[in-house]
Amino acid sequence: MLARLFYEFFKIGLFTYGGGLAMLPLLQQKARDFGWFTEEQFTDMIAISQSTPGAIAINMATFVGYEQGNIIGSLLSSIGLIIPGFVIIMIIAKFLKQFNEKPVVKSIFTGLRATVIGLILTAIVNIATVSIFNLKLFKETNMIRDFFDIKSIILFGVTLFAVLKFKKHPIYYIIAAGIIGIIIW
């Protein structure tokens, strides 16, 4: 189990370009493959990872590792995630100055940026499916009103508006959402 955690997070770290949000679809697939957690737990982990200090990728690796293998699992998952990026960035840093103006290198980065956007949008859709839409209740009742979690949609809309209008540090929105969650839900 511990070796599997290291190996799977090593692969995620090796094949994820674009940071923690880009790794979410891969992590979600691994969770399904190995039964690490449910969709609801996955969404909760994202919320926890986003609201604690540090990068979402390492927070998620640490959290999953701890859930699956306690402290040793969290260490192995985190180290497995970090090693590929560390090695790759050291290699890239050594050679990028020499090649970053080459058309083929520019084209590679253009393609990678577009792919990262696709991965992040996939994560958004998956999170929205669990957070804003209530598919389980809708499947049970077949009532369109049960498809939407109205409170979550309102909170999403208010938060989006506030972020775009006031541009405060994200921690303010996270704390406010946590307090609202305690009061409303």
Is the predicted pLDDT of residue 68 greater than 80, yes or no?
A: yes
Contact of 159 with 173, CB cutoff 8 Å: yes
What is the C-alpha to C-alpha distance for residues 69 and 71, in angstroms, rounded to an integer? 7
| Residues 48, 50: Cα–Cα separation, whole Å | 5
Query: Which pLDDT tens digit goes with each residue over 142-165?
Result: 998 889 989 999 999 999 999 999
What is the pLDDT at residue 154?
Answer: 94
Give tens-digit pLDDT for 74-119. Answer: 999 999 999 998 998 888 888 877 887 889 988 988 998 999 898 8
Place of tokens 């995630």: 81
Q: Please, which pLDDT band fits residue 2 given cuts at 50, 70 and 90?
A: very high
pLDDT mean across residues, the chain = 88
Residue 111 burial (CB count, 10 A): 10
CA 151 centroid distance within chain: 23
Report pLDDT for 57.
84
- pLDDT-derived band at 185 (thresholds 50, 70, 90) equals confident
DSSP 136-172: HHHHHH--GGGTB-HHHHHHHHHHHHHHHHH---HHH
Residue-wise pLDDT for 10-62, tens only, equals: 999 988 876 777 788 888 888 888 888 888 888 888 888 877 777 888 888 99
Tell me, what's the pLDDT at 145?
87
